[in-house]
Chain A
Amino acid sequence: MMQRRTLLAASAAMLAAPRIGAAVTVGVTATELKIGNFMPYSGPASAYGVIGRGDAAYFKMINDQGGVGGRQINFITYDDGYSPPRAVEQTRRLVEQDRVALLFHTLGTPSNSAIVRYVNQRRVPHLFLATGADKWGNYQDTPWTIGWQPSYRTEAQIYAKWMLEQKPNAKVALLYQNDDFGKDYVTGVKDVLGARFDQMVTTASYEVTDPTIDSQVVSLRGTGADVLVTAATPKFAAQTIRKVHDIGWQPMHFLSNVSISIAAVMRPAGPERGVGIITSAYQKDITDPVWNDDRHMQAWREFMRKYLPEADMSDSGYATAYNVSFTLMQVLRQCEGDFSRENIMRQVANIHDLEVPLLLPGIKVSTSPTNFHPIRQMQLQKWSGAHWERFGDVIQGADV
């Protein structure tokens, strides 16, 4: 009877209070804050598993320094094998069994797609996902989910903006992979060109299953384009660079920054063939000696030596982990001890010009209740024949 009365009183209070007042705090005790994560430690994408190890090491460092808000961080990370059903299983385990306060840096577009509805129904903060899809910035439909890195769409906006400055009357050829990833680039270019898109741009797409993209490149050249935007994954990027050079086409060539690996793209394509190609960057290249005297880079190396002594120091996944974990710590500090899920989300949407150690100078993390794209700036860089050389100012994506 007593129980029923308290229940009634509680539900009356819930109805009376404004929505924000009904704060839910889960996964937080006086001494501990639980953070959940899944990563592909096994399976086809297991190379990304280093990111989860980097995150874990970062939180260990934070705990050694005394934790956050007087609490130690308990970082729980599981293997999803890059499989959406297992991602659902692991997410439910984290949310229902381990009862984590929030989900952080979960990797992979398919895996995050599989859980996004569940976490938003349950109102679990789903923060700083490790995927570049643009849809994680959709604060209206999925207000509990937010990405981190510049989305592919933002990247394409930046190329289009700079291109318009250089060649206001360009004729653009756009080659894209026919999936979410490639289509984000088409959207980004459209954002900037608007009504002029149809008249300025010719598109061609390829399937991941296609053996080559030769015919697409040849037919795009036939349109007389003087700008080429290639939204391709590494294998097709290398093919494109090779073919463009071999048929003697010399457009202003923009290349998606998922395909700028020297080992996987530039060397197979032939380094001399790619001279002049333009792409973008937002993180400091940890292998570039330019940063040797940078105090943040030195701090990162110190961290790596202490917490991940056996790790490969040239794997940029560790730098990403460091940056993203740093951003989360800022959010948790801003919470000032109130780790209710509502307050966590309020602080997530309340980051102002945060400087993150391994982001390029001038690139800052900002969010607001109507901006769930934390990084919207990038700097362009050009292939010299041996390495990528950054040039010009930091460019901001278009406001759409």
Chain B
Amino acid sequence: MDAGRDRIGTGIALPAAGAAERSAARPLRLLGLLGLVAVAAVLPPLFASSYQLFQLTLALIFAIAILGLNIVTGFNGQISLGHGAFYAVGAYATAIMMSHFDLPWWETLPVSALICAAFGFGIGFPALRLGGLYLALTTFSLAVAVPQILKYKGVEDWTGGVQGVFISKPDAPEGLGLDADQFLYLVVLAFAVAIFLLAHNLLHSRIGRAMRAIRDHSIAAEAMGMDIARIKTRTFALSAGITGLAGALSAIAIEFVAPDSFSVELSITLFVGLVVGGVGSIVGPLFGGVFAVFVPNLAESISRAAPGVIYGVILIFFLYLLPQGFAGFPQRIRALLRRRPEG
């Protein structure tokens, strides 16, 4: 946000220079991005063990899920503590389609995302009347309810009850010379790149600015002619769809879904990832995903007796050092550097 304001400031002072700088920077940034994606696509499959690839795959999946949460919470200001529910619905939708209807995995993904988006749209309506903490609790109750609903007798034929549903990880298409883990990593990476780019474009468009305007000052936004109800419900649907897609990918990666996989803790994990990565940041969720997968293991390697305590300490440490999340790290360095000559 600060960066945005700076840019407007310099833009007013030196309009020509600012515009030229931006248009020159653009292809460079694009090249840099392409380079990063290429490195991410080539290096891990070459050098990482299949277990490490699996972890990276999970981190990317969490990153997508957290991006979904970030769109509604970070950019639109609607706090959700229940995104684990959308993640679960996406995972189950894919698992059921793959096991009961024998659909190929790639066909199930868009359907799962659409189902979750519709579900999110439905949740978005009551959300209109509930602000802030009340919305947080309403979505939280959703996260509490979903694992139990999945065990319900009436849907047991589909969900498998407590037994859950088994599915199979897709094999890599022949001729690529990849194993299943490498293939899945690349698939998830491709989805992640596409969704992060789409989110980036969307959030820097008219709609994205409207979302943020509603977050920052909804009355002013309404006075300027924005249809708040429409934007809020659609944001919720988009967010749920993205998180649901992540859930669907997770079902394929884990090859198993069960109610115990989607406890309340999952929603909290996503929320923690959101805050640690950086609320209202597009790259933030990537760090959030890494945090969600690797920090619990790190905590456990430090103390097996009380991994929760270590996790908590690490979390507080991060919040203290990086109050704006990982995404705020460069800004914080810049701020420190700027302050020094003055002081």
Contacts from A to B (Cβ < 8 Å): 41-44, 77-79, 81-86, 88-89, 92-93, 95-97, 109-110, 113-114, 117-118, 178-180, 207-209
Contacts and interface: CB of A to CB of B under 8 A. Distances in A.
A79 B256 contact: no
A113 B153 contact: no
Nearest to B309: A42
Contacts of A86: 296
Nearest to B148: A209
Given A83-B263, A117-B256, 7 more contacts: A41-B307, A84-B254, A84-B260, A85-B254, A180-B161, A207-B153, A209-B151
Contacts of A209: 148, 151
B222 interface: no
A179 B162 contact: yes
Interface stretch (B50-58, B119-127, B329-337): B50-58
Closest 5 CB pairs of A and B: A96-B51, A110-B260, A114-B256, A84-B261, A97-B51
Contact of A114 (B51, B258, B305, B308): B258
B166 A79 contact: no
A118 B255 contact: yes
Interface core residue of A92, A118, A178, A209 (most chain B CB under 10 Å): A92
A62 to B, nearest CB: 20
Given A97-B49, A118-B255, A42 B163 contact: no
28 contacts: A41-B300, A44-B263, A79-B296, A79-B300, A79-B304, A81-B265, A82-B260, A84-B164, A84-B254, A84-B256, A85-B254, A88-B256, A89-B54, A89-B58, A92-B51, A92-B54, A96-B51, A97-B52, A110-B162, A113-B164, A113-B256, A114-B258, A118-B255, A178-B153, A179-B151, A179-B162, A209-B148, A209-B151
A319 B307 CA distance: 25
B250 interface: yes
Nearest to A82: B260
Interface in B113-165: 148, 151-153, 161-164
A83 B300 contact: no
B168 to A, nearest CB: 8
B162 A93 contact: no
Contacts of B153: 178, 207
Contact of B254 (A44, A114, A180): A114
B161 A88 contact: no
A79 B301 CA distance: 10
A89 B54 CA distance: 8
Contacts of A97: 49, 51-52
A156 to B, nearest CB: 18
A89 B55 CA distance: 7
Interface residues of B, number: 32
Given A84-B258, A84-B260, A89-B54, A117 B304 contact: no
Contacts of A109: 162
Contacts of A85: 58, 250, 254, 261
A86 B36 CA distance: 29
B163 A96 contact: no
Interface core residue of A81, A85, A97, A117 (most chain B CB under 10 Å): A85
B163 to A, nearest CB: 6
A92 B48 CA distance: 14
Contact of B265 (A77, A83, A92, A118): A83
Contact of B300 (A78, A92, A113): A78
A117 B153 CA distance: 25
A83 B49 contact: no
Given A42-B308, A88-B256, A180 B261 contact: no
A252 B156 CA distance: 33
Nearest to A46: B308
Contacts of B255: 88, 117-118
A86 B49 CA distance: 18
A86 B293 CA distance: 9
A113 B163 CA distance: 8
A71 to B, nearest CB: 23
Interface string B290-308: 0000001100100011011
Interface in B247-263: 250, 254-256, 258, 260-261, 263
Contacts of A89: 54-55, 58
A109 B256 CA distance: 13
Contacts of B260: 82-84, 110
Given A110-B260, A113-B256, A41 B55 contact: no
Interface in B39-83: 49-52, 54-55, 58
Contacts of A43: 265
B171 to A, nearest CB: 12
A135 B307 CA distance: 32
B270 to A, nearest CB: 13
